[in-house]
Structure 1
Amino acid sequence: MSAAERAPDPTRADYPLFRTITTRWMDNDVYGHVNNVQYYSFFDTAVNQYMVEAGGLDFRDGEVVGLVVETGCSYRRSLAFPDVVEAGIRVARIGTSSVTYEVGIFRQGEEAVCAFGRFVHVYVDRASNRPVPIPERARAAMEAIRVG
């Protein structure tokens, strides 16, 4: 697909919620920028921080947990320590036992997206590791940032 055929990159206005993440010295790679794998950590950190704050995730004692089953990321601009990241979060789809989050990574105070992607959580019973319906409190937190 050519750049002309590609959908436009998301903007800050496309995300209803933001979480701030500080980059660390160890996030940089030998090329002097945040390594690509760290962006997935930013995604996970931002979403899980929101879900814990909203009461939709008890990762220590909850009987139901969300496991990542799919991820993807597109990179547009580099970040480097000591940049501060503002991660925009939205929910694109909620199913019976799964949710698709979309996350935009922005350098603090800047409008242009540095990277954006998605990941899918499937909710499972912690003991059996089998899919279960998304708990109501988690679903309510997801609905609060759902778009589309």
Structure 2
Amino acid sequence: MLNTIQIKVRGYHLDIFQHVNNARYLEFLEEGRWAFFDDFGGIEFMGDGIAWVVVNININFRAEANFGDVLEVQTRYTKLGNKSITMKQTIINTQTQDLVAEADVTYVCFSKTLKAAIALPDDLRQKIEQAIVVSE
């Protein structure tokens, strides 16, 4: 499953060099993940004392984005572990088709009660496995 959203670069996204500040890309990526989860069936899987905790973000910046650019954030699942999921995200400039940034984001399934990572519930694991197969 691939989810996409578009974000228009605004003045408040820019740094003193007049291109998108690196920290803003993390916000763009997060917005993309929330949209993905909305389309994936909401975040009902966050109930029952379970939370999803980001434990790693690896981002590569490839090209600058500037005021007025429209960026497409693409998000999909790529890897499923026993206690974790990894998502691949790319940010594309829709006008130039340049790859602006790409990131791998890893979450762990976290028990709020135990305060520890736990194995993914079986029903969620099956749903994610199907989403990975569809996007391959």
Same fold (TM over 0.5): yes
Determine if contact 1:22/1:85 at 8 Å carries over to the other structure: yes
Relative to structure 1, the CA distance from residue 103 to residue 25 in structure 2 (aligned partners, 3 Å threshold; closer, same or farther) is: same
Deviation at 1:78, TM superposition (A): 0.8
Match of 2:127 in 1: 140
Extract unaligned runs of 5+ from structure 2: none
Deviation at 1:93, TM superposition (A): 0.7
Match of 1:72 in 2: 58
* TM norm structure 2: 0.81
Greater CA drift, 78-87 or 55-64: 55-64
Q: Percent identity of the aligned residues?
A: 22
SS in structure 1 of the partner of residue 118 of structure 2:
coil
* TM norm structure 1: 0.75
Match of 1:25 in 2: 11
Aligned residues: 134
1:82 to 2:56 alignment: no
Higher strand proportion (structure 1 or 2): 2
Where do 4+ consecutive residues of structure 1 move more than 6 Å? none
Determine if contact 1:63/1:127 at 8 Å carries over to the other structure: yes
Deviation at 1:31, TM superposition (A): 0.5
Determine if contact 1:56/1:141 at 8 Å carries over to the other structure: no
Determine if contact 2:79/2:132 at 8 Å carries over to the other structure: no
Match of 2:87 in 1: 101
Higher helix proportion (structure 1 or 2): 2
Match of 2:21 in 1: 35
SS in structure 2 of the partner of residue 77 of structure 1:
coil
Q: CA RMSD in A?
A: 2.6
